[in-house]
Amino acid sequence: MFIVNVEGAVHKDGKWLMVIRSEKEEHAGGELAMVGGKVDQEGFSSDILERTLAREMKEEVGIEIQNLRYVNSSTFVTDAGAHVVDIVFVCDHLSGEAYAVDKDEVSEVVWLTTEQIVEDTSLPDYLRENIRLAAAVLNGKS
List, for residues 40-79, the tens digit of each pLDDT value.
Answer: 887 788 899 999 999 999 999 999 999 999 999 999 998 7
- The predicted pLDDT at position 87 comes to 98
Q: What is the CATH number of domain 3-138?
A: 3.90.79.10
Interatomic CA distance for residues 106 and 60, integer angstroms: 7
Q: What is the residue extent of each domain of the chain?
A: 3-138
At residue 93 the predicted structure's pLDDT band, cuts being 50, 70 and 90, is very high
Under 8 Å between Cβ of 75 and 25: no
Interatomic CA distance for residues 117 and 29, integer angstroms: 18
List, for residues 70-82, the tens digit of each pLDDT value.
Answer: 999 999 998 789 9
